[in-house]
Amino acid sequence: MKHLITGGSGFLGNLIARRLHERGESVRVLDIWEDPSRPKEIEFVKCDIRDADGVAHAMKGIDVVHHNVALVPLTKAGGDFWAVNVEGSRIAAEQAVKAGVKTFIHMSSSAIFGAPKSCPVTNDSPMTPVEIYGRGKLAGELAVRDICAKGNLPLIVIRPRTILGVGRLGIFQILFQWIQENRKIYVIGDGNQKFQFVHAHDLMDAYMLAMDAGKPGVYNVGTNRFGTLRESLDHVITHAHSTSRVASLPAGLTINTLRVLDWLRLSPLAPWHYLTYHKAFHFDVQPLLDLGWKPRYSNDEMFRESWDWFVQNKDRIAAEDAASPHRSKVKQRLLGLLKKFS
């Protein structure tokens, strides 16, 4: 089988490419940035997902398209969210249909559900995104579903919860730095909401299981062992032998303050973070468990592993400048000032 991974140099795209390569599959990645650590057997095509002709050329001879190109919340991309996450997804699906691809796998997001009014979230739950990233991901998913249905192209949609794992940075880099420096760890509200994460390798196991089963459909992915956000933070603080403690902030005032700081570009936190992380969110993953998926990591276990990797690689992280937002360091901006008083 010949596979094309769009966004194949990003965190998830890179994991998919390597999993397929390790299985002996033929792999081609499409991205605007080439990962220097990419195995030489994996073909690289430099192309912007908005370039329909370039995407069409990259899909020649492809059996399975893995669509992972997306601007993530940390990029604060504004109008480009729509251009890449919606129109880019539309182009990928349209070109896949024209190329006669056998299967299209679309990486969506739990952000399409916004801040759910009830949990667990299922495929029947209302999709009500609360910010620009989630709205773009929903529009992109719906566009892909429509194109694949009209083109009779089998479609698998993967919706992961918040991802942790070796090499995953983003806002967790800031969290770990504060824990390492024994600072207070602030949460919006009391932190006692049930909050589900997913380990990157468990996500890849679910992804490959859905692909190998050849069962088109929508798969919501998160660990089946989790507690509250406060419990997860307390656990990693204890594991780190830190004197940090979790401190609560009033929801209304904090959200409004972060909204202003975000508008002024003085905070790395995006609306997805400050509008949803204080709300309970967990998927019903029983459909995946019924398929035979066996997640290996609980919330606590993935936090421990991620912390250990961070400590072992902090010097390299500080020096590295990857083009993928979830594989590169994050500037704290005005949060760095808050840290000094924590």
The whole domain housing 245 covers 169-195+226-281+299-330
Residue 288: inside a domain, yes or no?
no
Whole-model pTM above 0.85? yes
Residue 92: inside a domain, yes or no?
yes
Domain CATH for 320: 3.90.25
In this prediction, the residues of the chain whose per-residue pLDDT falls under 70 are: 319-342
Give the model's pLDDT for residue 315: 80
Residue 258: inside a domain, yes or no?
yes
Give the model's pLDDT for residue 341: 59
Residues 84-121 pLDDT 10s: 999 999 999 999 999 999 999 999 999 999 999 999 99
Give the model's pLDDT for residue 17: 98
Longest dimension (CA), the chain: 58
Residue 287: inside a domain, yes or no?
no
Residue 289: inside a domain, yes or no?
no
| Domain shared by 212 and 235, yes or no | no
Residue 341: inside a domain, yes or no?
no
Q: What is the DSSP string of 183-236?
A: --EEEEBTS-SBB-EEEHHHHHHHHHHHHHHT--EEEEE--S---BHHHHHHHH
| Domain shared by 213 and 268, yes or no | no
Residues 215-229 pLDDT 10s: 999 999 999 999 999
Domain CATH for 152: 3.40.50.720
| Domain shared by 130 and 215, yes or no | yes
Mean pLDDT, rounded, of the chain: 93
Give the model's pLDDT for residue 327: 46
* Count of domains for the chain: 2
